[in-house]
C-alpha cells in the first residue's frame, strides 16, 4: 500500500498537540492526586491498615490522555492471605472520601470512584519483587509501571498517546470483557517495540495469525504455546501474553481501521463525530429481519455482566443456527443498570420448511427401523448418509422466529446463569419495527443500533 508519509506525519503532529495534557491540567491533576494520597494515608494510619500506597497505570507513567484519565492507587499488602482476611473490610474505610463510587471486582475486589472530578480506583494487591512469585495480573501492575518508566521518554510518550487516541476513536481501547481490546500497557509495549505510531501501523499490516512480538530478548523455549490471534510477550513475565484480551474480531477491526487511515488520513479516526441516530422510518427498513430479546440487567459487577452477556449472545446464536435460522449478525447492548437487549439480524424471520433429523449409524441395529419409518414417507424430501450415519430431510410448516422463541425451552440454550435467571422473570421478544418505542425512548440504544446497522457511516 502506497501511503502519503509526509502528509500523515504532519497530521499526526497536529493531533499530538491536541492530545497532550496542558501544563495547567497536569498541575491540577497532580494536586488532586497528592491530596487524595494524603487523605487516604490518614485513613491507613488511623485504622492501622498494613499496606503501602503505590500509584500505577497511565498516570504514573505519564502516558495518560486528557479525555481518558483514570488514576490507579494500589494498596500493597504483604500477602494474599492479608487481602483475603481484611481486603474487603479495609476498602470500606475509603468509600467515604469519594463523591461517588461503586464496588468492582477483578482478581481482587476494588473501588472505582470519583474524587474532586477525577476517576480514581483503589485496588488491593500483593507486594512482590518479581513475577517469579505467584501473582495475579493485578499484583504485577506495579512491575509494569517500573518497566515502562525505564524505557520511555517524551517522544515515545507522544507516540503512545497517538495509539491510545486512535484506538479510543475506533472503540477498540480497553482490555475489559466488554471491549476485548487493547490495554494501556499493551499500547505502551507496542510503541516501545515499534518506536513510532506510524511504524506500528505500517508493520501491523504484515502481521500473521498468532503473530509473536517480543519487546525484550526471550528464549524460544521460554515462550509457551499461545492460541491468541496476537501474542505480545510480557517483558515482566515471559509466560504471559499481554495481548490475550484482544479478540480476533477486535484485531480485524484494528487492521481494517489502519488500512482505511493510511489510505485516507484524517483526524476523524482519532476524533470521530458523535453518532446521529437514524430517523424511525429508516430504522423500520433496516430492522425488517431482526429479532430483539429484552430483559432486565442482573445486579452483578460490570465485568461479570459482560462475560454473561457475551456467553448468552453466543448461546442464542448457536441455538438458532442449530434450529436452522440463518444468522447475519448478533450483538448485545446494555445500559449496565436496567436493561439488556440482544439484537439478532437474520437472513429471514422464517426458518426453512425442512427439518434435518439424525438417524442411526449405517449397518447398525436401528438402521432397519429408521428406513422403514422414512423410506415411503411423503413428507421426506431426502434420505441420505452423512459421516457414516443416516440423515433425513423432512418437510414441516414454516415457523416464524417469534413463535419459535416464545415456545422454546431456554434451559436448552447455553446462557450465563444470571441472564438465564433474568429471562425467567422478565423477557420480551420483539421483531422488526416493534423495537421502535425502545429506540425512540433510549438515546444510547438508538446510537448503538444505528452503529451496528450502518457500520460504515456511523
Report phi then psi at 428, rounded to 5: -135, 130
pLDDT of 225 over the 90 cut: no
Nearest to 389 by CA among 369, 355, 360, 356: 360
Question: Is residue 190 domain-shared with residue 224, that is, in the same domain?
Answer: yes
SS3 assignment, position 355: strand
Statement to judge: residues 35 and 158 lie in one domain: yes
pLDDT band at 267 (very low <50, low <70, confident <90, very high): very high
Q: Is the pLDDT confidence value at 411 over 90?
A: no
| Domain boundary pick from 236, 269, 302 | 269
Cα torsion 132, 137, 138, 141 to 10°: value is 70
| Structural domain count of the chain | 3
* Percentage of the residues of the chain whose pLDDT score is greater than 90: 72
Structural domain range at position 390: 354-395
Let me know whether 293 and 405 are in one domain. yes
Q: Is the pLDDT of residue 438 over 90?
A: yes
pLDDT digits (tens, 9 = 90+) for 32-71: 999 999 999 999 999 999 999 999 999 999 999 998 898 9
Question: Same domain, yes or no, for 343 and 358?
Answer: no
Of 395, 410, 427, the domain-final residue: 395
Tally the C-alpha atoms within 13 A of residue 175's C-alpha that lie toward its C-beta: 14
**Share of residues in the chain with pLDDT > 70 (%):** 96
pLDDT band at 457 (very low <50, low <70, confident <90, very high): very low
pTM of the model: 0.85
Instruction: Based on the fold, state whether residues 347 and 361 are members of the same structural domain.
Output: no
Same domain, 367 and 327: no
**Burial level of 22, CB count in 10 A (0-12/13-18/19+)?**
exposed
pLDDT digits (tens, 9 = 90+) for 137-195: 788 899 999 999 999 999 999 999 999 999 999 999 998 889 999 999 999 999 999 99
CA distance 92 to 209: 45
Please report the pLDDT score of residue 232 as a whole number: 96
Q: Quick one: 347 and 360 in the same domain?
A: no
Residues 226 and 299 in one domain: no
281-294 pLDDT, tens digit per residue, is 999 999 999 999 99
Q: How many CB atoms lie within 10 A of CB 97?
A: 18
More confident site: 105 or 148: 148
For the chain, the average pLDDT equals 91
Are 96 and 164 in the same domain? yes
- Judge if 328 and 367 occupy the same domain: no
Checking if the pLDDT of 131 tops 80, the result is no
In a domain, 458, yes or no: no
274 part of a folded domain: no
* Residue where a domain stops, chosen among 269, 297, 326: 269
Query: Cα 397–399–401 angle (5° rounding)?
Result: 170
340 and 361 in a single domain? The answer is no
**Is the domain of 148 the same as that of 111?**
yes
Amino acid at each position: 500500500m502506497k501511503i502519503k508519509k509526509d502528509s500523515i506525519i504532519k497530521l499526526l503532529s497536529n493531533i499530538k498537540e491536541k492530545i497532550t495534557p496542558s501544563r495547567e491540567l497536569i498541575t491540577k491533576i497532580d494536586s488532586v492526586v497528592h491530596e487524595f494520597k494524603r487523605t487516604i494515608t490518614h485513613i491507613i494510619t488511623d485504622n492501622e491498615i498494613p499496606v503501602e500506597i503505590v500509584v500505577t497505570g497511565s498516570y504514573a507513567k505519564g502516558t495518560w490522555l486528557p479525555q481518558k484519565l483514570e488514576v490507579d492507587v494500589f494498596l500493597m499488602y504483604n500477602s494474599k492471605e492479608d487481602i483475603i482476611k481484611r481486603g474487603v473490610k479495609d476498602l470500606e474505610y475509603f468509600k467515604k472520601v469519594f463523591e461517588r463510587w461503586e464496588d468492582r471486582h477483578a482478581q481482587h475486589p476494588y473501588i472505582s470512584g470519583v474524587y474532586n472530578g477525577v476517576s480514581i480506583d483503589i485496588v488491593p494487591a500483593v507486594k512482590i519483587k518479581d513475577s517469579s512469585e505467584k501473582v495475579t495480573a493485578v499484583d504485577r501492575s506495579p512491575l509494569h509501571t517500573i518497566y515502562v518508566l525505564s524505557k520511555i521518554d517524551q517522544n515515545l510518550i507522544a507516540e503512545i498517546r497517538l495509539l491510545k487516541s486512535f484506538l479510543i476513536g475506533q472503540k477498540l481501547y480497553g482490555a475489559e470483557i466488554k471491549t476485548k481490546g487493547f490495554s494501556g500497557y499493551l499500547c505502551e509495549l507496542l510503541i516501545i517495540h515499534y518506536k513510532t505510531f506510524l511504524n506500528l501501523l505500517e508493520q501491523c499490516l504484515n502481521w500473521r495469525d498468532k503473530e509473536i512480538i517480543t519487546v525484550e530478548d526471550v528464549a524460544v523455549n521460554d515462550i509457551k504455546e499461545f492460541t491468541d490471534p496476537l501474542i505480545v510477550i510480557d517483558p515482566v513475565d515471559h509466560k504471559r501474553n499481554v495481548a490475550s484480551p484482544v479478540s480476533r474480531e477486535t484485531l480485524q477491526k484494528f487492521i481494517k481501521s489502519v488500512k482505511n487511515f493510511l489510505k485516507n488520513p484524517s483526524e476523524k479516526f482519532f476524533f470521530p463525530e458523535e453518532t446521529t441516530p437514524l430517523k424511525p422510518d429508516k430504522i423500520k427498513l433496516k430492522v425488517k429481519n431482526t429479532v430483539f430479546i429484552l430483559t432486565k440487567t442482573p445486579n452483578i459487577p460490570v465485568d461479570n455482566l459482560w462475560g454473561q452477556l457475551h456467553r448468552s449472545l453466543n448461546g442464542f446464536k448457536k441455538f438458532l443456527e442449530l434450529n436452522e435460522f440463518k444468522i447475519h449478525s448478533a450483538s448485545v447492548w446494555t445500559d449496565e443498570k436496567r436493561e439488556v437487549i440482544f439484537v439478532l439480524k437474520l437472513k429471514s424471520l422464517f426458518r426453512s420448511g425442512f427439518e434435518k433429523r439424525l438417524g442411526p449409524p449405517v449397518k447398525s441395529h436401528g438402521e432397519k427401523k429408521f428406513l422403514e419409518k422414512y423410506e415411503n414417507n411423503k413428507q421426506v424430501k431426502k434420505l441420505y448418509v452423512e459421516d457414516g450415519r443416516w440423515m433425513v430431510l423432512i418437510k414441516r410448516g414454516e415457523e416464524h422466529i417469534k413463535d419459535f422463541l416464545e415456545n422454546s425451552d431456554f434451559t436448552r440454550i447455553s446462557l450465563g446463569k444470571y441472564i438465564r435467571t433474568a429471562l425467567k422473570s422478565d423477557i420480551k421478544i420483539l421483531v422488526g419495527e416493534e423495537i421502535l418505542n425502545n429506540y425512540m425512548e433510549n438515546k444510547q440504544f438508538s446510537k448503538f443500533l444505528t452503529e451496528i446497522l450502518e457500520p460504515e457511516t456511523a
